[in-house]
Amino acid sequence: MMLRVFASLLFVVALLAPSLTRAQAARELSPAEVEEARALFVAGSAAVESGRWADAVSSFERAYEITGAPSALYNLGLALRALGRHRDARDAFDRLLTAHTLDDAELRREVEQMRTEEAARVAVLELVGLDADARHAIRFDGRDVADDGARPLDVETDAGAHTLIAEREGFRPFVWEGELADGERRAVRALFEPVATASASDDTALHVVLVVSAIAAVAAGGAILGYVLYEDAQVRPLYDQRVEP
């Protein structure tokens, strides 16, 4: 696969000059932007040669942001593919096929084939059991996932270990942790446990307990006070009792 990637990159680099020319005409690129884009292509190609795919993604992604050149998007898709980011690679090839005109029939067939291959490797977590009339706050691997109301709700990802947290008002969060393989579709049922709230009978019982406790405390206090007064009377001199001589 690496030889195929290198060959594809060499082929696309040959298209760089006309791509930049068309991009410059379409988007009014400044000379500085053209030079930056060229430098990014060079840096991206060097990153590919040394196997630094994440750096290659950064370079080609930025080059496409600047120029909108299809060659930059093509290279970005290849780098994402090599990294195992199949969902993002599929989306890059989708955009290349829909947003750009690929005059070379062989290149178009190659992109279509890679797009099909990447789509088949996207893993999907199918979340079932969500209330159709409620909206949920969902986080997958730390990123927010929009609850668009689709039931079941599909969450696309790549192979590996993942964590999903779904929250609904009035319920405890549902947490799922697990691993997905390339192209795996797994259904997971979200179970929400209601948050316990104090009922009216519980409140009444608590009130009775508090009242009884208060009465008992008062009674105990009175008994203690009476005992203290009694003891005090036993030891106090009887000044009011006089013995006449």
Q: What is the mean pLDDT of the chain?
A: 81
The verdict on 166 and 129 lying in the same domain is: yes
The verdict on 110 and 69 lying in the same domain is: yes
Report the half-sphere exposure of 113 (CA within 13 A, side-chain side): 6
The verdict on 116 and 131 lying in the same domain is: no
The verdict on 50 and 116 lying in the same domain is: yes
Establish if 194 belongs to a structural domain: no
Q: 58, exposed or middle or buried, with CB in 10 Å at 0-12, 13-18, 19+?
A: middle
Establish if 135 belongs to a structural domain: yes
126-150: pLDDT as tens digits: 999 999 999 999 999 999 999 999 9
67-101: pLDDT as tens digits: 999 999 999 999 999 999 999 999 999 999 999 99
pTM: 0.73
The verdict on 116 and 217 lying in the same domain is: no
The verdict on 136 and 177 lying in the same domain is: yes
Q: 75, exposed or middle or buried, with CB in 10 Å at 0-12, 13-18, 19+?
A: buried
List the domain range (segments joined by +) for residue 39. 2-120
Domain finish residue from 80, 100, 120: 120
Per-residue pLDDT for 19 more than 90?
no
Q: In the structure, what pLDDT confidence band is assigned to residue 50 with cuts at 50, 70 and 90?
A: very high
Q: How many domains does the chain have?
A: 3
Domain finish residue from 189, 221, 237: 189
144-175: pLDDT as tens digits: 999 999 999 999 999 999 999 999 999 999 99
Establish if 38 belongs to a structural domain: yes
The verdict on 170 and 68 lying in the same domain is: no
The verdict on 6 and 114 lying in the same domain is: yes
